[in-house]
Amino acid sequence: MRRRVARLAVLPLALGLVAADAPQMDPMNPTCPAAPNWSDNKRMEITPVLINDTKVLLAEGAVDTGLPERLKAALDANPDALEIWFRSPGGNARAGNEAGRVIRQSKRFLISRIPNGWTCFSACNFVFMGAPARIVEPGGNFMVHMFTVTGQRDAIEMTLEEGTDSAIELIGDIEQESALLATEDNDFLIRMGVSRELLTDVMYRQKAVAGSGDDRSTRRCLTPEEALKYNVANAE
């Protein structure tokens, strides 16, 4: 059942997040902005702020292996925080899953939000989905892609120089790791109450590497209707 959170829906106005003009779209990824606003912090920083007498945690930057521990510390230090706002280019996939579980295991009613103009990409998706209530504002970007093992293409090319047997072994390791990650992602979505069709119908249908045909997109931003359809967003 979707919760209506009308009282908090006006909060982004306090930070001036409402854009005056529609963003320019990416010709390679036409559902997404050409210049995503996802922070250039090398690691996700958790900053408590007070907006309209409501405590909000701003989660901005890359998802790194230390995020789950920092996020737990931030939640413990701010028991009165009601929302977490996300702006991130993604990062470590397993750290994203673990950070999402940290939010859910806190057993608090928290609202995760992607404000208008902000982008939550890749591993950030899974941190965001950890909250029991989730809002993707109009103009906010829940941006997905095909999850792959980081750096696999470069690693394969380097290993090919060492010989075919080494490359075959590496490819086998990558395939096994990718299968394990897919299983973990599927289990995570089930536990968070998100439709598994988000993986099968959207994420896994994106290209891992841009091709040479007419459709070269590797990223996809959910429409508001899709966010509700897959239960990525469950609060209004």
Three-state DSSP state, 23? coil
**pLDDT bracket for residue 161 (50, 70, 90):** low
Q: Is residue 155 over pLDDT 50?
A: no
What pLDDT, in 10s, does the model give residues 51-83? 999 999 999 999 999 999 999 999 999 999 999
Average pLDDT over residues 11-31: 69
Per-residue pLDDT, 159:
45
Q: Is residue 150 over pLDDT 60?
A: no
Average pLDDT over residues 181-193: 85
Q: Is residue 154 over pLDDT 50?
A: no
Q: Is residue 18 over pLDDT 90?
A: no
Closest-CA residue to 5 (of 87, 101, 110, 86): 110
Using CA atoms, how far apart are residues 136 and 233, in angstroms rounded to an integer? 6
Per-residue pLDDT, 140:
97
Work out the mean pLDDT of the chain and round it to a whole number. 82
* CA–CA–CA angle 67, 87, 142 (5° rounding): 110
Using CA atoms, how far apart are residues 185 and 188, in angstroms rounded to an integer? 5
Q: Are 18 and 117 in contact (CB under 8 A)?
A: yes
Residues with Cβ within 8 Å of 186's Cβ and at least 6 positions away in sequence, in order, are 196, 199
The per-residue b/e assignment along 221-235, b for 16 or more CB within 10 angstroms, e otherwise, is: bbeeebbebbbbbbb
Q: Is residue 102 over pLDDT 50?
A: yes
Per-residue pLDDT, 7:
39
Average pLDDT over residues 165-193: 67
Using CA atoms, how far apart are residues 91 and 66, in angstroms rounded to an integer? 11
**pLDDT bracket for residue 164 (50, 70, 90):** low
Of 3-17, 97-111, 187-201, the poorest mean pLDDT is in: 3-17
**φ, ψ dihedrals at 58, nearest 5°:** -90, 120
- Higher pLDDT, residue 192 or 169: 192
Structure tokens belonging to residue 10: 């006006």
Reported pTM: 0.80
Q: Is residue 20 over pLDDT 80?
A: no
Residues with Cβ within 8 Å of 32's Cβ and at least 6 positions away in sequence, in order, are 25, 26, 119, 141, 143, 219, 220, 221
Per-residue pLDDT, 210:
63
Q: To which residue do tokens 């702006």 refer?
A: 87
Alpha-carbon 149 to chain mean position: 16
**pLDDT bracket for residue 183 (50, 70, 90):** confident
Three-state DSSP state, 83? strand
Q: Is 79 exposed, middle or buried (0-12, 13-18, 19+ CB in 10 A)?
A: exposed
Domains recognised in the chain with CATH numbers:
6-146+196-229 (3.90.226)
- Which runs of consecutive H residues, i.e. helices, occur in the chain? 67-77, 93-105, 123-128, 152-160, 164-192, 197, 224-229
Average pLDDT over residues 158-167: 53
Average pLDDT over residues 112-135: 97
- Higher pLDDT, residue 204 or 49: 49
